[in-house]
Amino acid sequence: MGTTTLYLKRNDFARSFKAMTKEELEKLSSLSPYSKNQSYLGWDVPLELHNGNVYILVFWKGKLMELGDAPQQLNRKYYDKYKCKVCKEYEWTLLKGMMLKDIKYLDKNFKREIKKTLKTKSDLSSYRGE
């Protein structure tokens, strides 16, 4: 298995991997999400996945993080760059609300599809005389 390192492009000026020299690629691959310096040449190393473990990942305002770490990392008030002011809610509260709304929407669609399949199966069984 091994370790999978995720690289996140921090800005539009980040150099492509093809344009980097061998030394630069070695420096980039030596970065760790556990060290203080997690960025190099416009790339961030947000996290590593070890030995095939599955984590639910969250992407929020340019940050990729594990869902379990999100409440500790998103402990600041949300700054709305379009309104240019700080909202009263914390970033984690907003993200949690967005995720719960999305889960309710997906759950509603799932239940709708299940009802459709159950109706079609019952229609087919009554048509066949079962």
Q: CB–CB of 27/42 below 8 Å?
A: no
Confidence of residue 103 (pLDDT cuts 50, 70, 90): very high
- Provide the whole-model pTM: 0.54
The per-residue pLDDT for range 110-126, each reduced to its tens digit, is 999 888 888 776 665 55
In this predicted structure, what is the pLDDT of residue 124?
55
- pLDDT at residue 108 above 90? yes
In this predicted structure, what is the pLDDT of residue 110?
92
Q: How many percent of the chain have pLDDT more than 70? A: 90
In this predicted structure, what is the pLDDT of residue 105?
94
In this predicted structure, what is the pLDDT of residue 59?
82
